[in-house]
Amino acid sequence: MEKLKFKPTVTNILISINIIFYILMTLSGGSNNSRVLLLFGAKFNPLIEQGQVWRLVMPIFLHIGLEHLVLNCVSIYFLGKQLEWLLGKKRFLAIYILSGIGGNLASYYFNPNSISAGASTSIFGLFGIYIMMGLEFKNLPEIKIYARQIALLVLLNIGFSFFDGGGINVDTFGHIGGLLAGILFGYVLGIPRLGKIKAFRRYLAIVLVIVLLILSVKKVFTI
């Protein structure tokens, strides 16, 4: 009953922000326009290296074309409706943002020549939460089934993106980075509605996050 009455407020706000930015970009010359993308904060390594570190965050809210926007907003809605209830609003928002940043950092490292934008890094972080839950809460059949379905979807998505060269709007390394960030932060922040995370796995995730954070700060701020 509680779940039926739950309103995914954060999910709806995130979708609204994406739509607002898309409208603003369209009015400014079009979301497919490289100049407009850079103006609004797309990930672009040379500008990040000049100190515009906020470009690791802003791409989460920008999209390249209407199809890109619609696909990601639909994904955010269906994933967010479930995960916002499971995680709680604050944890959900934190993992969404942190996964997006993690994905953009991966793109910064491994896809340095691209102009990247899209909520896909955060969406893959939400996929990562499902995979993490499937690994941690194997005693819950429903979660286990969801996790297997999501894992298959992720494997197919990443596999096809490598096979076809990534596509015009696909940043495969950003997706992988977002996925791993979602898994790690899922362990760090936990899923209170489902149970406790095993201490060893939580501490290991915390250590990995700290190490990756130090390496990322060193890389971004010492260029």
* Whether the predicted pLDDT of 108 surpasses 60: yes
Output 193 or 220, whichever has higher pLDDT: 193
Q: What is the pLDDT of residue 167?
A: 43
Locate 210 and state its tokens: 């700290």
Q: What is the pLDDT of residue 157?
A: 83
Percent of the chain with pLDDT strictly greater than 70: 93
Q: State the pTM of this model.
A: 0.91
Active site members: 120, 175
pLDDT bucket at 104, cuts 50 / 70 / 90: very high
Question: What is the rounded average pLDDT of the residues 83-96?
Answer: 96
Question: What is the rounded average pLDDT of the residues 73-82?
Answer: 95
Output 171 or 8, whichever has higher pLDDT: 8
186-216 pLDDT, tens digit each: 999 999 889 889 899 999 999 999 999 888 8
* Whether the predicted pLDDT of 161 surpasses 80: no
Q: What is the pLDDT of residue 156?
A: 86
120-152 pLDDT, tens digit each: 999 999 999 999 999 999 888 888 888 899 999
Q: What is the pLDDT of residue 121?
A: 95
